[in-house]
Chain A
């Protein structure tokens, strides 16, 4: 048991921070629901940060550390699927971004408009779809990811995969790590807001009603983070379902409170809170939502009926 980064992990994150410093700028100009960090995405891929799980001596925890760190950025990049799920796939590294969808292949999928491959997770199997020659219909939404829908699988190269359970487990870990990073970033800007925004002659953050709910939000963010990292370390069914289910269950309350304390500013695209809360709200419904993860956790820990 050791909650501190080892030398390799500290080195990875220091290197990542160095790269991120060079890509710190967020597209300015018109307010958007999200900012896709295309240049950053390419730099991350080139530097190998998204392939860390494939390198001898490194593993899924190191990948989750990268995913969590990247999720704190205002710009969005596809990291979770590439870093944690792609190593399970038969395709060569570097064919990315990787979009994910569960159920039907033509449901809205995160990152599909920028993806090279689509992974369709179904009940008993998965399909890996090469998107060369595909027609992607963009999906307009409040969510802070690029979403798109595949019009048809016709004419596309589709591989059937039988490791759906492994993919689902890694998806849960990626989701948990990404949500934990989003929570940390969202909380940070709201804490800064309530420290400085004055009402009734004092900072909002001096009101106990707000302090208590932010303290509870911090417990949520901390729990989400450590559950995600433990799940990434063990790569186990129960830990993965617990981590994803916990954070999905908490997202509604967490995002509600953070928007509430941001007032009307929190409803604007100018105030950056939505860049993380609308990632969280997107993640809340993935893989069937908290209840699906909860039942999976129950069965992993205690067995089926």
Chain B
């Protein structure tokens, strides 16, 4: 057991930081305030991800056969940590490299791999995930969007909601259900994953005005949208296994605490400039937020470490996610109380952090679901009810 970085890991981190310093526009902080789904950031991500690809830093953790360098798990994580600290200039594309690509490599047909991975590798693809529905959010298995089997594929009808990046996405990782009347199995077994071209006829995207940033959440309506059968990922009945693999990759891939820590460091500089740092109450409260960030860091590192050792998946990511949500909110609470002007037009970066923090416990499924998972799968407490 030891908690240091190897010289290679330090060099990798330094290389990423240098690239960020050399690359990000001088006014990046102000421009990134509108969030990763904004027009600006999405457009910039296409430019930035191409640059990352040119430097071998977009998919270095992917296998060599897929254009990566087989970089170790910790190298991938350090890349994500530095990107989050910088406000995630990869925008929506973090998703592609963290889980869309790995999921396709594991479950996709050779044709799907050829077709979809090339644009991801080049930094050109924007994906959205069509998971949540008006009546199926954290309770994902309750989804009702219908995929009716027809000759050569499926006709999809229904609605998705809270879909990030849908207004910009080329492809949707869409979950739908084959209706029982069409032979679909009940519950999770009836779900299919359809890699759906967002330019298909019958798709309508509507942005939802929200507190969490421009272009971040949408409603997506599907009206008899045809999806060819060759765009189905995995077999009918295999979707839940694929979703769990995807979510495990998604939930371990995001170093949100690093952005919170960076914002906290900035806040202290500001408090010092304002002559308020000598106040022991300010120091106390800042450090309590710091402790939450560092606790989250240690638990997320534990998840990454397990992955690096090739340990089988377990419920520990849920423990880490709860800590991450506490960290985001702890820092946000501190800033809201001690630097309120930042949310009154004074600090766009603080505002960007606030917008991410308020979504931290909701995005990717309610944090309370993580508590359920910790209770059942980690602490092995008895189930309350059975579905």
Residues of A bordering B, CB below 8 Å: 1-6, 9, 61, 65, 191, 194-195, 202-203, 205-208, 211-212, 214-216, 218-219, 222-223, 226-227, 229-230, 233-234, 241-242, 245-246, 249, 290-291, 293-295, 297-299, 301-302, 305
Partner of A226, one of B4, B284, B302: B302
Point out the residues of chain B lying under 8 angstroms from A302, CB to CB: 265, 268, 272, 277, 286
Given A3-B302, A298-B287, A298-B290, residue A61 in contact with residue B319 (CB < 8 A): no
Cross-chain contact B309 with A249 (CB below 8 angstroms) = no
Which residues, 281 to 327 on B, are CB-close (under 8 Å) to A?
A: 283-288, 290-291, 294-296, 298-299, 301-302, 304-306, 309, 318-319, 322-323, 326
Measured between beta carbons, the chain B residues less than 8 angstroms from A219 are 299, 319, 322-323, 326, 374
Residues of B within 8 A of A (CB): 1-5, 9, 74, 265, 268, 272, 277-278, 280, 283-288, 290-291, 294-296, 298-299, 301-302, 304-306, 309, 318-319, 322-323, 326, 368, 370-372, 374-376, 378-384
Contact B301 A223, beta carbon cutoff 8 Å:
no
CB distance from A25 to the nearest CB of B (A): 28
CB neighbours (8 Å) of B299 from chain A are 219, 222-223, 226
A246 touches B1 (CB 8 A): no
15 CB contacts below 8 A, A to B, read A61-B2, A195-B380, A211-B375, A211-B381, A214-B375, A215-B371, A215-B374, A219-B299, A226-B299, A294-B287, A294-B288, A295-B280, A295-B284, A298-B286, A301-B290
Q: Which residues of B contact A208 (CB under 8 A)?
A: 372, 375, 384
Q: Roughly how many angstroms separate A274 CA and B382 CA in the complex, as a whole number?
A: 25
A211 and B295 in contact (CB under 8 A), knowing A1-B2, A2-B305, A305-B272? no
Complex-state Cα separation, A9 to B3, whole angstroms: 14
The answer to whether B1 touches A245, judged by C-beta atoms less than 8 angstroms apart, is no
Taken together as a complex, chains A and B put the C-alpha atoms of A208 and B371 apart, in Å, by 9
Given the known inter-chain contacts A2-B305, A249-B288, A295-B284, please indicate yes or no for A191 contacting B379, CB distance below 8 A.
Answer: yes
Instruction: Tell me how far the C-beta of A224 lies from the nearest C-beta in chain B, rounded to whole angstroms.
Output: 8
Nearest 8 A/B pairs, CB to CB: A305-B278, A211-B375, A223-B295, A215-B374, A294-B287, A226-B298, A298-B283, A205-B381
Assess whether B1 is in contact with A211, with CB atoms less than 8 Å apart: no
* A297 pairs with B379, CB closer than 8 A: no
Contacts of A203 in B (CB 8 A): 381-382
User: Across the interface, which residues of B come within 8 angstroms of A291, CB to CB?
Assistant: 280, 284
Question: Apart from A219-B322, A291-B280, what are 6 other A-B pairs with CB-CB below 8 Å?
Answer: A6-B2, A9-B1, A206-B383, A215-B375, A218-B378, A305-B277
Q: Flag if A211 contacts B371 (CB, 8 Å).
A: yes
Contacts of B290 in A (CB 8 A): 242, 297-298, 301
Are A223 and B323 interface neighbours, CB within 8 A? yes
Cα separation A61 to B382 with both chains bound (whole Å): 36
The answer to whether B294 and A205 touch across the interface, beta carbons within 8 angstroms, is no
Question: How far is the CB of A212 from the nearest CB of chain B, in Å?
Answer: 4
